[in-house]
């Protein structure tokens, strides 16, 4: 395969991008100046160095200080957040959408993906074991009862894959038998809706009407 087709194939694997759009991206790049392409490839090749994965919630954040090793993101390091709720999302983009709605002040956990229906190995798609460990660790570490984890809000896209992922997470949480309330977002969200594209009011309503 030549490099043009390889590039096309890479773009076609991007989330939400089909073969036709991938081809358009390649043509777009072909018409750009060498300096643009140098800047672009430099940014792409350094992306892993310019971000870090939070050891707690697993979201990616930009590295603020390249000399200090950061392990926790700004949300996890914020002592004013509500420790009693943990909101579980599939991807970083979902967390960003909920965070920018301003309707949620608790903690997060990013699963790192969702599970397609009929997938036989969900643990390879999402951080299920890490989530379970994270929950039992936070139960043990928070002696102070008023700050102990009380509720887990499973916040997935309103799609068959999102529902399926929510079922897997809920079943796994029930197996560990902890005294926690498990909720899902309210169905103010219409079927097929992806969290990433919802407006602030819809997210606020979905959180308020969680059940
Ligand atoms: Zn974090």
Please report the pLDDT score of residue 24 as a whole number. Answer: 95
pLDDT digits (tens, 9 = 90+) for 70-92: 899 999 999 999 999 999 999 99
Please report the pLDDT score of residue 1 as a whole number. Answer: 78
- Ion ligand 1 — residues with CB under 5 Å? 54, 56-57, 73, 76
Please report the pLDDT score of residue 143 as a whole number. Answer: 60
> What is the whole-number distance in angstroms between the Cα of residue 171 and the centre of ligand 1?
24
CB-based contacts of 131, cutoff 8 Å, min separation 6: 88, 109, 111, 169, 172
Give me the residue label for tokens 């792409």: 44
The dihedral through the CA atoms of 100, 201, 135, 144 has a sign that is: positive
> What is the whole-number distance in angstroms between the Cα of residue 122 and the centre of ligand 1?
23
Beta strands, E only, the chain: 51-53, 60-62, 82-89, 106-110, 151-155, 181-184
> What is the whole-number distance in angstroms between the Cα of residue 127 and the centre of ligand 1?
14
pLDDT in tens, the chain (211 residues): 788 999 999 999 988 889 999 999 999 999 999 999 999 999 999 888 889 999 999 999 988 776 778 899 999 999 999 999 999 999 999 999 999 999 999 999 999 999 989 888 888 889 999 999 999 887 776 666 678 899 999 999 988 999 999 999 999 998 886 788 999 988 765 666 788 888 888 899 889 989 9
CB 111 within 8 A of CB 131: yes
Query: Helix crossing, 3-12 with 19-30: angle to 10°?
Result: 130
pLDDT digits (tens, 9 = 90+) for 160-197: 999 999 999 999 998 886 788 999 988 765 666 788 88
> What is the whole-number distance in angstroms between the Cα of residue 58 and the centre of ligand 1?
6
pTM higher than 0.85: no
Please report the pLDDT score of residue 142 as a whole number. Answer: 60
């Amino acid at each position: 395969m030549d490099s043009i087709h390889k590039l096309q194939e890479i773009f076609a694997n991007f989330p939400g991008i089909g073969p036709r759009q991938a081809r358009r991206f390649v043509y777009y790049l072909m018409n750009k100046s060498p300096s643009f392409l140098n800047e672009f490839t430099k940014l792409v090749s350094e992306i892993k160095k310019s971000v870090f994965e939070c050891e707690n919630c697993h979201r990616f954040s930009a590295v603020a200080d390249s000399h200090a090793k950061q392990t926790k993101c700004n949300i996890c390091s914020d002592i004013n957040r509500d420790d009693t709720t943990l909101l579980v999302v599939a991807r970083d983009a979902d967390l960003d959408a909920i965070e920018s709605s301003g309707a949620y002040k608790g903690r997060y956990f990013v699963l790192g993906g969702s599970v397609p229906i009929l997938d036989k190995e969900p643990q390879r798609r999402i951080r299920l074991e890490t989530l379970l460990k994270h929950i039992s660790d936070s139960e043990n570490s928070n002696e102070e009862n008023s700050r102990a984890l009380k509720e887990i809000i499973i916040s997935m896209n309103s799609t068959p894959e999102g529902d399926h992922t929510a079922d897997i997470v809920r079943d796994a949480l029930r197996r560990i038998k902890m005294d926690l309330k498990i909720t899902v977002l309210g169905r103010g969200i219409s079927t097929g809706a992806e969290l990433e594209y919802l407006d602030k009011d819809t997210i606020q309503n979905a959180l308020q009407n969680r059940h």
